[in-house]
Structure 1
Amino acid sequence: MASTAITRHELTRRREQLLDLQRYLAVLEADHDGARVKLLGFRLRYLEALGPLMRDLDDLEAQLQQATSLLSEALKRQDVEAPLPAAPRAKAWPDVAALPDATPLPPEPTGLLTDLPPPSLKTLYRRAAMRFHPDLAPEGPERAVCEQRMMAVNDAYERADRYKLETLLLAAGELPEKVIGGPADAVRAWLGLCEHMVQGRIRVVQAQTLVLQNLQMHQLRVAIERAEAGGMKPLDIMAARLRSQIAERRQELYIGERVGGDARLAADFLRKRYQRVTGLGLG
């Protein structure tokens, strides 16, 4: 009787631990989803404010690259070497992925909390073979998976690794009471499996949250919202800077399309453009 009381107390404590883990996971998921929604909203606002200007600037840079390529080829035909910067790379918006769907927890075993003898190692092996033997699987990827699992089953049986066999069977959906023994032990095993699954999900959410927080767009959002909270208008400032750059590129393009007849002017134009694009001086 005392043993049953201890078992009930242990199961109650483990259930509370599992609930605590699930509550912690729910907080992490809500934090991630909230940060993702904010980031997607910011990206939309950012593109509405600056997208047309950025496209205009990109178009001008592409025209400038074409013009400078033509100048460079013309100078080479005159045996004049002039630096040509690499074509600007298109900026790709990073993906802001949602969390993958969580694997549902298996149902809790039911029945009286009595201890029944667990099945023998040989019985566990036979059940595992019935589930994982590749000859029982259809052709294709599923059979390859079964081959890998059957290798693990054979290895565990040879080493008399009961825990490994139990883990494989429980993960495959075998009823805990048929793997561990009586319902009390089955519930204990079920709780252990659920804890393992929730902890794995916690690691996934934490890793994806870290990826989101390391996105340059996330850091830009934080900086801009902090500036806006201080009464500044950073998007307006950025738009003004883009308009200034657009005006400069239009002037640069105007010059670049008209210096082709003078090798000295063309070479000087290419050097200045190289310095602006690369930030490097020329010896």
Structure 2
Amino acid sequence: MLPEEQELARLESELANLEDQVVTAEETLETLKVETAQFQHHYYQIVGWLFAELDRLVAQIARVAAGLEPENTEAQTQAEAAEQQAQKSAEEAGLAEKQPPPPEITPELKQAFRQAAKLMHPNRATTDAERKRRTTIMAMVNVAYEKGDKATIEKLIIEFGHDPEAITGEDVSARLVKTIRRIAQLRRRLNEAQQEIAAQTANELYELRLTITEAKEMGGDPLGDLERQLMQQISEKKIELEMIRQQRVSG
């Protein structure tokens, strides 16, 4: 084997390893997005509407209290802030109620995603035109993955394989240059994906999901406990609202 062929073999081995790392990182990233969406939907289904109701009562209490002191600018400001929070909570709860739950990420769906990513990832392109083409297709793959649409991913794989652009033939020198460039591209993408994963895992929803999962594994029912706590707070706020309304009438 010629020296350049030996170097090509070494680089192609490194390239294959990097491709696996990038595919794994991107699968992890997409799965994190879906699992976070699943948790968010479940969370809002159970306690989101309770938070919205609690914030609505807090806003009403703040507005009635502000009405007792019309010259108190701080009370007016607090009432406005409480009303904005109540509106935000109501919108979030309403949006979650309308949206269907995210799909389950099955092993078969993950396998299809990995196959697609290895075949058509933009980092395998050597020209700008080919990179744009692959980016568009991979975006379609990502959307299908987040929808749990395995059939669409498989269809995209077949269509990509039949594309004339997928057929290549190069000599050793050209393959060396392309492999070196691909390695550089993959390293950049791996770094980007790792940064995106770090951002996802730093998200408050992710932390909350971990905390609740760990508590459930230990036999707890954190969402049930929170639901009961919120219902108790709502009951207390209703009493408080009625009392302050009576105070306003008697005053």
- Is 2:39 aligned against 1:39? no
Aligned to 1:11: 8
Aligned mate of 2:176, from 188, 193, 196: 188
Question: SS at 2:248's partner residue?
Answer: coil
Aligned mate of 2:52, from 47, 52, 55: 55
How far does residue 19 in structure 1 lie from its aligned partner after superposition? Answer: 0.3
Give distance in 2, aligned partners of 1:253 and 1:46. 27
Question: SS at 1:231's partner residue?
Answer: coil
> Percent of aligned positions with the same letter in both sequences?
20
Question: SS at 2:2's partner residue?
Answer: helix
Give distance in 2, aligned partners of 1:255 and 1:82. 23
How far does residue 33 in structure 1 lie from its aligned partner after superposition? Answer: 2.3
Aligned to 2:25: 28
Aligned to 1:105: 124
Aligned mate of 2:62, from 62, 65, 71: 65
Give distance in 2, aligned partners of 1:52 and 1:58. 10
**CA deviation profile, 1:144-183 (whole Å, cap 9, x unmatched):** xxxxxxxxxxxxxxxxxxxxxxxxxxxxxxxxxxxxxx94
Aligned to 1:274: none
Letter in structure 2 aligned against 1:203? N
How far does residue 102 in structure 1 lie from its aligned partner after superposition? Answer: 5.2
Contact 1:42 1:221 in 2 (8 A): yes
* Larger-Rg structure: 1
Residues 95-134 of structure 1 aligned to structure 2 (within 5 Å): 103-106=122-125
Contact 2:18 2:186 in 1 (8 A): yes
Contact 1:102 1:201 in 2 (8 A): no
Aligned to 1:231: 219
Contact 1:28 1:202 in 2 (8 A): yes
**CA deviation profile, 1:9-63 (whole Å, cap 9, x unmatched):** 0011100000010011122122222222221211121111112212211221221
**CA deviation profile, 1:179-228 (whole Å, cap 9, x unmatched):** xxx94332221111101111111112111111110111100000001000
How far does residue 261 in structure 1 lie from its aligned partner after superposition? Answer: 5.7
How far does residue 237 in structure 1 lie from its aligned partner after superposition? Answer: 0.4
Give distance in 1, aligned partners of 2:200 and 2:121. 19
Contact 2:46 2:227 in 1 (8 A): yes
Give distance in 2, aligned partners of 1:233 and 1:60. 26
TM-score by length of 2: 0.63
Give ranges in structure 2 of 5+ residues lacking alignment: 93-119, 128-169
How far does residue 104 in structure 1 lie from its aligned partner after superposition? Answer: 4.6
Give distance in 2, aligned partners of 1:30 and 1:207. 14
Contact 2:51 2:230 in 1 (8 A): yes
Aligned mate of 1:258, from 224, 246, 249: 246
Question: SS at 1:259's partner residue?
Answer: helix
Letter in structure 2 aligned against 1:14? L
Contact 2:123 2:186 in 1 (8 A): no
Letter in structure 2 aligned against 1:219? E
Give distance in 2, aligned partners of 1:14 and 1:234. 51
Give distance in 1, aligned partners of 2:199 and 2:126. 32
TM-score by length of 1: 0.56
Q: Which has the higher helix share?
A: 2
Question: SS at 1:258's partner residue?
Answer: helix
Letter in structure 2 aligned against 1:28? A
Q: CA RMSD in A?
A: 3.0
Give distance in 1, aligned partners of 2:214 and 2:250. 51
Aligned to 1:280: none
Give distance in 2, aligned partners of 1:26 and 1:53. 40
How far does residue 240 in structure 1 lie from its aligned partner after superposition? Answer: 0.7
